[in-house]
Structure 1
Amino acid sequence: MIFSLILRLTIWFLLTSDLSILNIIIGIAIAVLLPRSQVEKESIKEWIKVLGKLLIAIPQAYYEAIEIMIFPHPYEGLTLERVKPKRSRNLIFLDIFLITFTPKTIVLKYYKQGLFQIHRILRKKNS
């Protein structure tokens, strides 16, 4: 439950970009009031890995944005990536959020068979 609240607050703060007292109170209220899904047991180890990836994704997003402005990215491609096995819905959502957070990639579709369809912009054409 605590990880669910942390996830909701993190997404709230990333969306609003506002750490004022009023926004923190609103974020906590929304995180507590949103309905909960069925409880899925997730290991703390997996959550720590994902939160570590989130901390890496923020500077990576800035780097990619600058790279796109400096170097043209005229090509694009679609790839399918497999979801890690035995992933909970919360962690799958966070994986999709992290992929889409960076400017060069976006998840177009999640297949229930355990695949993400990802659109990428590329500097060079893949052969």
Structure 2
Amino acid sequence: MIAHIIFRLVIWFLLTANLSVANIIIGVSVALLLPRGATSPTRLKELLQAIWKIVQAVPQAYSEAIQLILQPHTQEEIVMERVKARRTPGLIFLDIFLITFTPKTTVLKYHEDGWYEVHRVCRRKQP
């Protein structure tokens, strides 16, 4: 319980970037009033794996940005990627964030039947 409140307060202070007394009171109030959702250990494990993938995507994003600067990518393609089975809306959001975080890919649309429509840029294909 305390961990959830502290986590919500940290998110609040990161979003507002304000440590005034009034903002602290508002942050504590929001942290206490927001309902706490039930999480199963399996979903928590999936959430931690998704967060770890996002942390790993940071160097990949820098690498792709440098590649785009040094080597032009002139080809585009739209591909369909399958959503992993039994994903919660929060995990689907993290998947979309992970795909869109890197400069070469963007999720154009999430299809309710379990597919992401992904736009990718790639280098010119040699004949």
TM-score under structure 2 length normalisation: 0.71
Task: Provide the residue aligned with 2:99 in structure 1.
Answer: 99
Is residue 76–residue 120 contact of structure 1 (8 Å, CA) maintained in 2? yes
CA gap of 1:38–1:121, structure 2 versus 1, over 3 A, is same
Task: Give matches, 1:110-125, under 5 Å.
Answer: 110-125=110-125
Task: Provide the residue aligned with 1:84 in structure 2.
Answer: 84
CA gap of 1:33–1:103, structure 2 versus 1, over 3 A, is farther
CA RMSD of aligned residues (A): 3.6
2:72 match: secondary structure: coil
2:79 match: secondary structure: strand
- In 2, the alpha carbon distance for the partners of 1:43 and 1:114 equals 18
- In 1, the alpha carbon distance for the partners of 2:89 and 2:126 equals 32
1:60 and 2:33 correspond? no
2:68 match: secondary structure: helix
Deviation, 1:99, is: 0.5
Is residue 96–residue 107 contact of structure 1 (8 Å, CA) maintained in 2? yes
Q: Which runs of 5+ in 2 are unaligned?
A: none
Q: Alignment length, in residue pairs?
A: 115
Per-residue deviation, residues 72-91 of structure 1 (Å, max 9, x unmatched):
10000000001000000000
- In 1, the alpha carbon distance for the partners of 2:126 and 2:88 equals 33
- In 2, the alpha carbon distance for the partners of 1:115 and 1:109 equals 8
